[in-house]
Structure 1
C-alpha cells in the first residue's frame, strides 16, 4: 500500500501521476518513499512492471484491476473532486498493488462537488460550468495525457463502454432512485443534535442546513447533466462544451460556497479556540 505524493508541486512528479519513467526504483521516490509497509526489491519490481504495462496501453488487465478502477473514476468524476489524481496536483489517493495488479483507493474528498475551484488562484465559480463538467474528458488535454491510469483505460473501447455502463448504473441505482437523497437525509437527522450543539463548528447550524439542501440540489443537477451526456444531448467532452457552452442543465441558482468555503475556516478559528480553551 502506497500514498504517492509530491515533495514539490513544481517538479514533474511523473511517479505521482503513475507514469512509467524507467526500471530503476530510484525513479519513483514519491511512491516508494511513501510506502505504508516495508517494501523489498521484488515489491518494487512488480509495481514498476505494472506501470510499464499501463504505459503500453496493452494487456491492461494484467497490470490493473480494471473493473475496480473504472468504478472509482465514475464516482470521482461525478462528484467533481479535482484535488485528486485527475486534477492539477495529481495526488490524494492510495495505490494498492497485489500480485502485480494495481488498484486505486479513494482519499480526501473534502473539496469535492466542485468546491476545490473555490480555493484556486484563478477559480472557476460558475456552477453551470462545474455541474456540467464533461465525463469523457474530466481534465484538460495535457493533464489527461499525463494520467495514464485514466487516459490509457479510456482509449480502450471495451473499457470506455464499461465506464459509461457503470455511470448509467450509478445514476439509476443511487441518484435517480432517490437512494442517495434518502441516505443524506437519514444521516442529517442522525447528526443534527450534535451539529447544532457543537461549539467548534465551522459554521452556524442554519448554514449546515443550507449546505445539506445545496448538496442535494447539486447531486440532482449533476445527475441530470451526466444523464444528458450519456444520452448525447449534452456535451461530454471539453471540445464539445467549447462549441456549445450554453448546453446542459441550468445551475445558475446554485451557490457552491454554501457547501463550505475556505473563509469558513478563518471565521471559525476564534470561536474554536475559545471552545477548546474552555475545556482545558
Structure 2
C-alpha cells in the first residue's frame, strides 16, 4: 500500500510542474505559422524600439537615393528583431513629403518594405508590407503615434504601429515610425474578411462628390483589392445617397464614421478629407457597407495649418460681461506689419529676425538667410481673430516665427515646431473643414446635417475632450515615449530636427500635452456655446473681420498659402548648404543606442533591463491544455490507486 505522504508528494510535484509550465511557456517565443497575425506583438511591440536592419547592394541603395522620386523597387534582405527575411522588395515612399526631401540636401526618405513581392508565400509573422515613416514635418516625432493611439481608443480600425531604429548595410539611418500597410492582411485582421473592395481616394472623386454612374470617371478613387469584380461594388450607389439623400445606414457604417470625424476634428488633422487635399483615408466596402480607415497623421495637432487655401476661423467668445455693444478686436498684423514685404520673383518674403547656428535657411530677397528667433518673439500673429468683450486669457499669440500660408518655415521643408496657434486650438467642431466647405465634402455634410447623427458626433467629441485628448492622458504618453526614445533621438544621424525640439513636444508651453489641454478646453466651450467659432471656408480669400468689416483681401497676403500649394515647388536656386548635416545637430559624433538599456513600457511603469516580449500562440495554448489534462488524469489515478490500496 502506498503511504499517504508518497501520494501527497506526487500531487505536490505535479502541481509545481504545472505552475512552472504556466509561468514559463507564455514567455517562450514559439514561432508558429498557424497564427497569421502574430506580427501584432512580435513586430509592433510598443514597449520597446524594434530594430530593422536592411541589407541591399550598395549600387542599388545609391541609385534609390539618387532617384528617390521614381519610387523604384529594389531587392534586399531585412532583419527585424533578429528575424531575417531574404529576397524582399524595398522602395522610397511618400507624396509631397517625398518631393520636398528630394529637393533638399537630406536623403532621409520614408521606406516601404514588401515582404511578399518576389514570393507571395513569404511574410514577417504574417505581415506582408511594412512602412517606415521618416516623421517628416513633425519635430515632436509623436503626432502620428498619438493620433493612432486615440483612433484605437475610439474603436476605429487602426494600423499597428511602433517605433523602429533602422540601419542600411550597417550604417545608421535613425528612428522611424513603423506602420502596418493597409492591405489584405490588415482587412482580414480587422474586418474578418478581405473579400471586399478597398479604396484609397486621392484625386478626382476623392471628395466623394457624385460625378456620374460611370465608375471610370472617378479616377482619383484608387481600387486596391478585388479589381476584377469592381462591377459588384456599391460605390456609385453610396455616392448617390450621400450627395442626393437616402438611407445612409444602408451604405455606410454611420457610427464608425462619426467616431472617425470626431477624432480627426479633435486632433485638427487637416491633411485629410476635411482639408483642401481631400485625401489620407481609406474606404473599405464589405457586403455593400463602407467603413473608413485612418491614415497618415504626421501633420495632425494642427500641423497642416488651418485655413490653408481658405480663410481662417472667426472666433467669438461669449461672456456674461456686457459692454457698449462694440466688439473689440486686434487688427491682423499680416495686413499691417510693414516689415513683411511682398515676395519678388517667386522668392520668400523679406523681413523677420535672423537665427544663428545650424538651422535651415529661409528665403528673402537676398538669398538664403539663417533666421535667429528668440523664444518669446511674435513677429507675426496667427490669421485668426478672437473677438471678446473682456480681457480673457483665451486670446492666444499664434507663435514665434513667420509663416508661409500657415506652415512654419523656420526649419525648412515644412517642418513645424509650433503647436500653440489660435486657429488650431479653436478649430471649429460645428463646421470642421478647412480650405473648403461642408458642401464640398458630402460624406461629412450628410452626417452632420442629420440632427441625430450630429448629437452622436458631439458626444464622441466630448468623450475625447474629457477622456483621451486631455493634458494628463497625453502627458502620460509623451513621458513614456521620452523615456524610451530620447537615446535613439540623440543617436539619430539623419533626423530633420534636434533632440531639444523633440523634448519640447513632451512637456511645457509648446508641447503636445499643452495642445491637448487648450484644445479640449476649446472643444468643451464650443459644445456649451460659450465659444462660437464661425469657420469661414470661402476659397475666395478675405480676412478676419474687425467690427463686422472685412480686414482686407487675403489674396494679397504674401504669407497666405494658395489652395494648390505644392511644398516641393521651392525655388531652384534655394541653397541648402547651410542646413544641419547628419550627425551635427548635437555637435559630437553620435553613437548607436545600447539595445539593452532601460526602456519604459507604453502602458505601464518603467521596467529595469530589457523589456521581454510576451506572446502566447496556438501551440502554447495546446501544450497548456494537454498538460492540464495529464495533471487531472494523474490526480484521478493517484486517488483511485490509493483507495484501492486501502
TM-score (norm 2): 0.35
- Structure 2 equivalent of residue 123 of structure 1: 406
1:54 touches 1:64 (CA, 8 Å); kept in 2? Answer: no
Once the two structures are superposed, what CA deviation does each residue of 1:165-224 show, in whole Å capped at 9, x if it has no partner? Answer: 111111222134822321222122121221122122222211110122211111111111
Equivalent of residue 259 in structure 2, options 64, 71, 77: 71
- How far residue 243 of structure 1 moved from its aligned partner, in angstroms, is 7.6
Alignment pair present for 1:92 and 2:403: no
Unpaired runs of at least 5, structure 2 = 1-197, 309-403, 409-419, 537-543, 548-567, 569-575, 585-591, 593-646
Q: Residues 157 and 98 (structure 1 numbering): CA distance in 2 closer, same or farther, change over 3 Å?
A: same
Provide structure 1 residue ranges, at least 5 long, that are not aligned to the other structure: 7-12, 246-261, 274-278
1:230 matches 2:527: yes
1:101-141 CA distances to partner (integer Å, 9 max, x unpaired)? 11221111111111212996532778122211111112259
Cα distance in 2, alignment partners of residues 179 and 129 from structure 1: 23
- Whether contact under 8 Å (2:201, 2:220) holds in the other structure is yes
The question of 1:166 aligning with 2:460 is answered: yes
Taking the TM superposition and a 5 Å limit, the aligned residue runs for 1:1-280 are: 1-6=198-203, 13=204, 15-31=205-221, 34-43=222-231, 45-117=233-305, 122-123=405-406, 127-139=421-433, 142-176=436-470, 178-213=472-507, 214-238=511-535, 270-271=581-582
Q: Secondary structure at the match of 2:279?
A: coil
CA separation in 1, counterparts of 2:231 and 2:455? 32
- On the 8 A contact 1:17/1:90 being kept in 2, the answer is yes
Q: 1 CA distance for matches of 2:435 and 2:455?
A: 21
**TM-score (normalizing by structure 1):** 0.78
| Deviation (angstroms), 1:156 | 0.4
CA distance in 1, matches of 2:435, 2:306: 22
Asked if the contact 1:54/1:63 (under 8 Å) is kept, the reply is no
CA deviations 1:45-65 (Å, max 9, x no partner) are: 411111112222331111111
Aligned partners of 1:90 and 1:163: how far apart in 2? 20
> Contact between 1:171 and 1:227, CA under 8 Å: does it hold in 2?
yes
Q: Greater helix share, 1 or 2?
A: 1
Give the structure with the larger strand fraction.
Answer: 2
Q: Relative to structure 1, is the Cα distance of residues 192 and 140 closer, same or farther in structure 2, using a 3 angstrom cutoff? A: closer
Is the contact made by 2:526 and 2:533 (CA closer than 8 Å) also made in structure 1? yes
RMSD over aligned Cα, in angstroms?
3.1
Retained in 2: the 8 A contact 1:54–1:149? yes
Figure out how many residues of one structure are paired with residues of the other and give that number. Answer: 246
Q: Radius of gyration: which is bigger?
A: 2
Q: What displacement does 1:160 show?
A: 0.3
Deviation at 1:38, TM superposition (A): 3.1
| 1:21-63 per-position Cα deviation (integer Å, ceiling 9, x unaligned) | 22111111211xx222232345554111111122223311111
